[in-house]
A = this chain, B = another copy of it.
Amino acid sequence: MKHVTSRDNALFKHLKALTGSTHARRKAGQSVLDGVHLAQAYVAARGQPVSCVVSERHYDHAEVRPLLEGIDPDRVVLLADALFAQITSVVNGIDLMLVIDTPGGHLPSTIDTDCVILDGVQDAGNVGSILRSAAAAGIPHAFLTTGCAFAWSVKTLRAGMGANFHLNIVEHCTLGMLESRLAVPLLATSSHADAAVFDTDLRQPVGWVVGNEGAGVSPEWMARVSRTVGIPQPGGLESLNVAAATAVCLFEAVRQRRAA
Contact = CB atoms under 8 A, between A and B. Distances in A.
A232 B254 contact: yes
Interface in A204-260: 231-241, 243-248, 251-252, 254-255, 257-259
Interface string A147-170: 000000000000101110010000
Contact-residue size bin, chain A (C-beta under 8 Å from the other chain): 35 or more
Nearest to A247: B244
Interface in A128-158: 128-129, 132-139
- Grouping DSSP codes into helix (H, G, I), strand (E, B) and loop, the A interface class, with mixed when no group exceeds half, is helix
Contacts of A248: 247-248, 251
A59 interface: no
Contacts of A254: 232-234
Given A136-B237, A161-B239, A252-B255, A129 B232 contact: no
A241 B198 contact: no
Contacts of A161: 239, 241
Given A241-B159, A247-B240, A258 B137 contact: no
17 contacts: A128-B241, A129-B241, A133-B240, A133-B241, A136-B238, A137-B233, A137-B235, A138-B234, A138-B236, A161-B241, A162-B239, A198-B255, A198-B259, A234-B257, A240-B247, A243-B243, A243-B244
